[in-house]
Chains A and B, each alone.
Chain A
C-alpha cells in the first residue's frame, strides 16, 4: 500500500532562518506531488506541484522554493523565512491527473 510521510509535524523558526520541509511517498512510482499552505481557518493555497523528477511548477511568487531530487521525494525550502511564511504546510500525492489525492499530516510552521 502507498503511504506519505511529512515531517516535522511542528516547527518554530526565527525570522531570517532557512527552512527545509520534506515529504516522501512510498509504494508508488512517478507520482504527481503537491505542496499547499493553509492559513488559520482558511482554504488551501497551491504553492508548487511536480509531475516528474526535476519538474517543478510554481503557483505563487514568494519566498519559497521546491525541489524534487528523487522520484518520491518533494522538498519545500526557503533561504530566509518571513513572518508571513507561518502556516500549515501540506504535502500531497496522486497517481496521475483525474485521480484522488492523498495528504500527509501537515507541518505547523510558526515563524517568530
Chain B
C-alpha cells in the first residue's frame, strides 16, 4: 500500500502565486522526501527532510515535517510556468529499505 498520500491531487494556480502541497503518512520514518516528475519522465529529487528536522529550505522550496501528525508540506513560492509537473512525497521508513511514494499532486502553473 502507498504510504504517502498527497493532497490536493490537482492544483492550478497563476504564475507568481505560491503553491502548497501536503503529504500524510502512516509509519515511523527516517526521513521524508519530495520529488518532481515532468510528464512521461523519471522522477527528480527535490529535498529530503529528516525525522528530527521541522523545516528545510532549498531555493524557492520550503518543506515542513510534523512527525506527531505524520504530515509534511511542500511550498513553492513565486511559482513559474516551468514548475508545472507532478510532485510526490516518499517515505523512508525506519524498519526497512523501501522507499514508498504517494499518488502525487499535479501542479499546473498558468502563465
Contact = CB atoms under 8 A, between A and B. Distances in A.
Given A46-B99, A90-B42, A98 B31 contact: yes
A97 B88 contact: no
B2 A90 contact: no
B30 A98 contact: yes
Interface residues of B, number: 25
A108 B40 contact: yes
Given A34-B99, A49-B97, A106-B41, A100 B104 contact: no
Nearest to B45: A100
B44 interface: yes
Contacts, number: 63
Nearest to A4: B42
Interface in B33-59: 33, 35, 40-45, 48, 50
Nearest to B5: A43
Report which residue of B42, B50, B90, B106 has the largest number of chain A beta carbons within 10 angstroms of its beta carbon.
B42
A50 to B, nearest CB: 9
B103 interface: yes
DSSP class of B's interface residues: helix, strand, loop or mixed? strand
Contact of B40 (A32, A34, A102, A106): A106
Interface string A31-71: 01010100001111110010100000101000000000000
B30 A44 contact: no
Contacts of B99: 34, 46, 49, 92, 94, 101
Interface in B67-100: 88, 90, 92, 97-100
Given A44-B101, A90-B42, 20 more contacts: A6-B42, A34-B99, A36-B101, A42-B103, A43-B2, A43-B101, A44-B88, A45-B2, A46-B101, A51-B97, A59-B98, A90-B43, A92-B42, A94-B99, A100-B45, A101-B90, A102-B45, A103-B42, A103-B43, A106-B42
Interface of A: 6, 32, 34, 36, 41-46, 49, 51, 57, 59, 88, 90, 92, 94, 97-106, 108
